[in-house]
Amino acid sequence: MDFYRAQVLVCGGTGCSSSGSGEILERFERQIAKNGLEKEVKIVRTGCFGLCAAGPVVIIYPEGTFYSRVRVEDVDEIVSEHLLKGRTVQHLVYKDKGHEDERHMSLENIEFYKKQKRIALRNCGVIDPENIDEYIAFDGYKALTTVLTEMKPEDVIQTVLDSGLRGRGGAGFPTGLKWKFAAASKADQKYMVCNADEGDPGAFMDRSVLEGDPHAVLEAMVIAGYAIGATEGYVYVRAEYPIAVKRLEIAIEQAREYGLLGKNILNSGFNFDVFVRLGAGAFVCGEETALMASIEGQRGEPRPKPPFPAIKGLFAAPTNINNVETLANVPQIILNGAAWFKSIGTEKSSGTKVFALGGKINNTGLVEIPMGTTLREIIFDIGGGIPNGKRFKAVQTGGPSGGCISTENLDIPIEYDTLTQIGSMMGSGGMIVMDEDNCMVDIARFFLDFTVDESCGKCTPCRIGTRRMLEILERIVKGQGVQGDIEKLERLAKNIKATALCGLGQSAPNPVLSTIKYFRNEYEAHINEKRCPAHHCQALLNYYITDKCRGCTACVKVCPVTAITGTVKERHVIDAAKCIKCGSCVEKCRFGAIEKR
Amino acid sequence: MAEQKEKFAELQKAIDEHKDQKGALMPVLQAAQGIFGCVPMDVQEYIADALGTTLSDVYGVATFYSQFSLQPKGRYVVGVCMGTACYVRGAQKVLDRVQKELGVDVGATTADGLFTIQATRCLGACGLAPVMMINDEVFGRLTEDEIPGILEKFKA
């Protein structure tokens, strides 16, 4: 094996690739060749490091120097200074807010990483995901070897049961129990399916795992296949994730070559192979029965349960379906034991959870924290708080199935059950932070708009009920809300939750109910006073000329409805009754004197 | 017409490759969408015949998933991400500006066949919100004023 004195890790996740990490990598290769360093410095394209806000990210070992927002032009300097002369390029080193004077930041000292515990993401940003040897060097496929040589299927299931691992896709059903049900079904053919149809807007952990550590998912699928007695596996992945699909396919090829997939794996007599199926842009396919229909080549519509997939699933055979992040935990549980996993997190929610931090937050990116961490720690310690000195208003978890959580609940520990109690849910782990400029009624409308669009149309409560709710919300944000609208929304929500066929419909009203619960005053302001407290809803805003006005009369000339009056060199006034809110005056004003209020 | 013939030959190759696997219709439709840029009725009829299924089955699947379109799209597909992270960071303003600049609504194609505007689902590049994609190229940390300049590059 070759020995290198330095390693340059370039993030090849979707976020950093989008901001040009591919060219940065090429430039490094060229510069290192030019300086004759090929035998001394190794360049690795890794998966996502997590701190997307600082992207494109480059880390140089052995020092662990963390360079952020690197541009192609910076590469020459890093090579000549850091790699040739051993001097850190100070102006590119990532600095925490408030610690700007620190000279040498390495990964473990950064606030963003300090409170994290990486199990599912442990290899993301560490290994080259397109090289099976690197995965194996980090204990990869060791768990599978243990399982196939030393454990009976029922031992594997018992270990997963004892670990307390619950589904990371959102609902939190105990994984071991799912496996137990599928194992108990008698059939010649069973299937193991990995749900990588990550549809929740703002959640991208499954993609990061597939992009950064695809072998972990494959290894877990073989283990699960062995446990339940399946010989065929499918990964159903979004077509919108081209990098993830490519790396998954490379990983499958490599695993087949090494005899870790296919016939007689590791001479154990166990056969198992994995196939990739692409989604085609339907959110409902994240629901397990819809997902199976889609793999079968049909419209991705859900069907009533029971029968559960463990009895009658894919191609009418017993099937076990697990989410990507859930599976990424499995090899570690086998390697370190159920007791180790149970010792992390809380009693009812063991282990860690990956969250995708986004929205109005400084450190956007992926974080993996032990269950029981508070929202406040995630948002303010790890996430670095709200940018531009704005005030925190709410955090939305669980995507279109979840809800908005307000300041009063920031100190509750994160668990499946606590989040459900406060009207949201764990969901797949999207965590969108909102500040004082975001209107909560409009956010509710945004999510309903999403659900109405993605409702498959099979059951009436979801197809028609969500549309009626959306119509009411649209009326409210336009300033046409009437007394009784809130109550009507609540009544519709209750009925849809009780009667919709699948999880999509049953949870669709959650964003509306949670915003009514914690931000009822905003709904009332829209309806009763025709006012949007966040100054967001266009139809409810009035233009107003402040004392910055110099009386230049430019706005008077441009107003199409002559709503502005005033004499030269004196402050002008807008007649709100005449104004049609076209915004022409704002564009014309050179003094920034016209504001929306 | 010769070009059309080649495309059908390519489609036939994809059909041969997938025909024997379970659930072949989805991969075949995905291949067709890639080859033709859309799946019009004659393509659907061809697939139905080749896979031994009915046109109604093919049409049902083709119209269910947003990835398949029955009409051709413009040369450049401008997809403005309307995921939550982008939305709270002002994606609506970006989308409004794209519509204003190109003079067509979401889902429509410009008269010269150059641009189609789409409001896409979360692209998963939330760290760069708000985000827009033009074909395979991603533009992140956008402000509405950058839109005309970006679009201009594609018009040339």
Q: Evaluate if residue B2 carries a pLDDT over 80.
A: no
A180 and A304 share a domain? yes
Confidence at A542, pLDDT banded by 50, 70, 90 = confident
Give the position of tokens 């109405």. A452
- Determine contact: B153 vs chain A, CB below 8 A: no
In a domain, residue A265? The reply is: yes
Query: Where in chain B do CATH 3.40.30.10 domains reside?
Result: 76-155
In a domain, residue A572? The reply is: yes
In a domain, residue A536? The reply is: no
**Cβ-defined contact of A300 to B64 (cutoff 8 Å):** yes
Confidence at A100, pLDDT banded by 50, 70, 90 = low
pLDDT score, position A404: 94
Choosing from A528, A556, A573, the residue where a domain stops is: A528
The DSSP symbol for A324 reads H
pLDDT score, position A582: 83
pLDDT score, position A102: 62
pLDDT score, position A597: 78
Residues of chain A positioned with their CB less than 8 A from the CB of B26: 277-278, 280, 294-295, 297
pLDDT digits (tens, 9 = 90+) for A510-534: 999 999 999 999 999 999 999 999 9
Count of domains forming chain A? 5
A521 and A549 share a domain? no
- Determine contact: B30 vs chain A, CB below 8 A: yes
Confidence at B106, pLDDT banded by 50, 70, 90 = very high
**Cβ-defined contact of A240 to B128 (cutoff 8 Å):** no
Residues of chain B positioned with their CB less than 8 A from the CB of A297: 22-26, 61
Distance to chain B for A240, nearest Cα, Å:
7
- Determine contact: A561 vs chain B, CB below 8 A: no
How far apart, in whole angstroms, are the C-alpha atoms of residue A125 and residue A47? 5
In a domain, residue A126? The reply is: no
Residues of chain A positioned with their CB less than 8 A from the CB of B128: 15, 18-19, 52, 55
In a domain, residue A118? The reply is: no
The beta-carbon neighbor of B121 closest among A201, A295, A434 is A201
A326 and A382 share a domain? no
A424 and A460 share a domain? no
Task: Kindly report the CATH number assigned to the domain that includes residue A88.
Answer: 3.40.30.10
How far apart, in whole angstroms, are the C-alpha atoms of residue A252 and residue B18? 18
Choosing from A342, A361, A383, the residue where a domain stops is: A342
For A225-292, list the strands marked E by DSSP.
232-237, 273-278
pLDDT digits (tens, 9 = 90+) for A173-212: 999 999 999 999 999 999 999 999 998 888 999 999 999 9
Q: Which of residues 45-74 of A touch B (CB under 8 A)?
A: 52-53, 55
Residues of chain B positioned with their CB less than 8 A from the CB of A283: 121
Q: Evaluate if residue A105 carries a pLDDT over 90.
A: no
**Confidence (pTM):** 0.92
In a domain, residue A255? The reply is: yes
A146 and A219 share a domain? yes
pLDDT score, position A24: 96
A with B: how many residue pairs have Cβ under 8 Å apart?
A: 129
Query: Where in chain B do CATH 1.10.10 domains reside?
Result: 2-64
Mean pLDDT across A16-33: 93
Start-to-end CA span in chain B (Å): 28
Q: Evaluate if residue B10 carries a pLDDT over 60.
A: yes
Give the position of tokens 């490094």. A28
Q: Which of residues 37-66 of B touch A (CB under 8 A)?
A: 60-61, 64-66
CATH, domain B76-155, list 3.30.210.10, 3.40.50.360, 3.40.30.10, 3.40.640.10: 3.40.30.10
> Quick one: closest CA in B to A50, which residue?
B127
A142 and A245 share a domain? yes
Rg (CA), chain A: 27
In a domain, residue A385? The reply is: yes
The beta-carbon neighbor of B126 closest among A204, A434, A446 is A204
Percentage of residues of chain A with pLDDT beyond 90: 84
**Average pLDDT across chain A, whole number:** 93
**Cβ-defined contact of A281 to B123 (cutoff 8 Å):** no
Q: Evaluate if residue A239 carries a pLDDT over 90.
A: no
How far apart, in whole angstroms, are the C-alpha atoms of residue A226 and residue A272? 8
Q: Evaluate if residue A486 carries a pLDDT over 90.
A: yes
Q: Evaluate if residue B84 carries a pLDDT over 60.
A: yes
Q: Which of residues 262-301 of A touch B (CB under 8 A)?
A: 277-283, 294-301
pLDDT digits (tens, 9 = 90+) for B13-65: 999 999 999 899 999 999 999 999 999 999 999 999 999 999 999 999 999 99
A203 and A91 share a domain? no
Confidence at A489, pLDDT banded by 50, 70, 90 = very high
The beta-carbon neighbor of A396 closest among B23, B60, B84 is B84
A184 and A306 share a domain? yes
Confidence at A596, pLDDT banded by 50, 70, 90 = confident
Mean pLDDT across A235-258: 95
DSSP assignment of chain B equals: -HHHHHHHHHHHHHHHHHTTSTT-HHHHHHHHHHHHSS--HHHHHHHHHHHT--HHHHHHHHHHSTT--SSPPPSEEEEEE-SHHHHHTTHHHHHHHHHHHHT--TT-B-TTS-EEEEEEPP-S-GGG-S-EEETTEEE-S--GGGHHHHHHHHH-
Confidence at A261, pLDDT banded by 50, 70, 90 = very high
3-class secondary structure, A594 = strand
Give the tokens for residue A217.
């998912």
**Cβ-defined contact of A432 to B85 (cutoff 8 Å):** yes
Distance to chain A for B70, nearest Cα, Å:
14
Residues of chain B positioned with their CB less than 8 A from the CB of A47: none
The beta-carbon neighbor of A295 closest among B23, B122, B128 is B23
How far apart, in whole angstroms, are the C-alpha atoms of residue A443 and residue B119? 17
- Between A240 and A473, where is the model more confident? A473
pLDDT score, position B1: 62
Write down the architecture of domain B2-64 according to CATH.
Orthogonal Bundle (1.10)
- Determine contact: A201 vs chain B, CB below 8 A: yes
Task: Kindly report the CATH number assigned to the domain that includes residue A564.
Answer: 3.30.70.20
A166 and A310 share a domain? yes
pLDDT score, position B153: 93
A576 and A521 share a domain? no
Percentage of residues of chain A with pLDDT beyond 70: 98
Q: Which domain holds residue A87?
A: 6-113
Q: Evaluate if residue B156 carries a pLDDT over 80.
A: no
- Determine contact: B106 vs chain A, CB below 8 A: no
The beta-carbon neighbor of B128 closest among A18, A280, A433 is A18
Residues of chain A positioned with their CB less than 8 A from the CB of B100: none
Residues of chain B positioned with their CB less than 8 A from the CB of A359: 84-85, 88-89, 129
> Quick one: closest CA in A to B123, which residue?
A240
- Between A19 and A353, where is the model more confident? A353
A24 and A100 share a domain? yes
- Report the alpha-carbon angle A440-A446-A452, nearest 5: 135
> Quick one: closest CA in A to B122, which residue?
A201
Give the tokens for residue A454.
């993605």
> Quick one: closest CA in B to A295, which residue?
B23
A93 and A157 share a domain? no
In a domain, residue A324? The reply is: yes
Residues of chain B positioned with their CB less than 8 A from the CB of A444: none
Mean pLDDT across B81-96: 93
- Between B11 and A20, where is the model more confident? B11
Give the tokens for residue A115.
């409170």
Distance to chain B for A321, nearest Cα, Å:
18
pLDDT score, position B145: 92
Confidence at A306, pLDDT banded by 50, 70, 90 = very high
Does residue A414 contact residue A392 with C-beta atoms inside 8 Å? no
